């Protein structure tokens, strides 16, 4: 059964959390702008536009077992991953995402298999930035062997073809180039679109809503 978000922090708490982390400074926003954006959030996730708060700047703000997050070294182009066609992201400095699910029931599926299943269910795949914002507010969503891909973000090559990498969020084992000092750290990485992993689901939401 899919992990379903039980309760996000209150809208006010979400805004204060982002302000405390300095996300408003990264985005070039006043604290009041984030607080105003959260005013009508209800049970939704508050997300700052990726054009203002890129993943490369947000990843180090993630934390798991006292370890800060990081982007894998071979994903220096992480901020070039944009919304997939058919994944509408509202304009404006911030927006809301409703009814988040981790997608555990699709573990061991490939991204190519998961995307049509998500859309057929009337849902939308999370972007990488949305996944990072979710973990900033709810770090416990990321569990060892229960992590997720964010197939709403893809990189389009100059030819127009999609890059075969799919962004994903999981917990480092501290092996290889990660380094032992990063064991248990939240990790922004990637997997091939056609590969399957028993420990990666596919996060999705019901819809995105512009801030009123």
68-90 pLDDT tens trace: 999 999 999 999 999 999 999 99
Model confidence at 168: pLDDT above 70: yes
Which of 203, 73, 181 lies closest to 132, judged by CA?
203
Q: What pLDDT shows up at residue 3?
A: 45
Band (pLDDT 50/70/90 cuts) for residue 6 is low
Q: How much is the average pLDDT of 19-46?
A: 92
Band (pLDDT 50/70/90 cuts) for residue 212 is confident
Least confident of 6-10, 106-110, 178-182, 206-210: 6-10
Q: Count CB-CB contacts under 10 A for residue 108.
A: 11
Computed over every residue of the chain, the mean pLDDT equals 93
Model confidence at 31: pLDDT above 70: yes
Q: Count CB-CB contacts under 10 A for residue 22.
A: 11
CA pair distance 44, 33, nearest whole angstrom: 17
Percent with pLDDT over 70 in the chain: 97
* Chain mean position to CA 24: 18
| Sequence-distant (≥ 6) Cβ neighbours of residue 204 within 8 angstroms | 100, 101, 103, 118, 121, 123, 124, 125, 126
């Amino acid at each position: 059964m899919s992990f379903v978000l039980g309760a996000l922090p209150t809208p006010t708490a979400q805004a204060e959390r982002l302000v405390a982390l300095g996300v408003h400074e990264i985005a070039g926003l006043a604290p009041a702008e984030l607080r105003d954006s959260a005013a009508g959030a209800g049970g939704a996730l508050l997300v700052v536009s990726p054009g203002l708060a890129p993943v490369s700047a947000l990843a180090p703000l993630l934390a798991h077992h006292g370890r800060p997050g990081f982007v894998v070294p071979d994903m220096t182009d992480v901020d070039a991953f944009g919304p997939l066609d058919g994944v509408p992201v509202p304009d404006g400095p911030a927006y809301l995402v409703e009814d988040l699910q981790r997608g555990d029931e699709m573990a061991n599926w490939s991204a190519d298999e998961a995307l049509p299943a998500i859309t057929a269910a009337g849902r939308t795949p999370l972007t990488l930035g949305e996944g990072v914002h979710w973990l900033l507010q709810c770090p416990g969503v990321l569990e060892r062997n229960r992590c997720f891909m964010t197939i709403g973000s893809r990189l389009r090559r100059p030819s127009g073809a999609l890059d075969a990498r799919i962004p994903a969020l999981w917990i480092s084992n501290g092996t290889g180039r990660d380094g032992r000092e990063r064991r248990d750290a939240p990790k922004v990485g990637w997997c091939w679109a056609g590969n399957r992993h028993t420990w990666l689901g596919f996060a999705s939401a019901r819809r995105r809503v512009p801030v009123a």
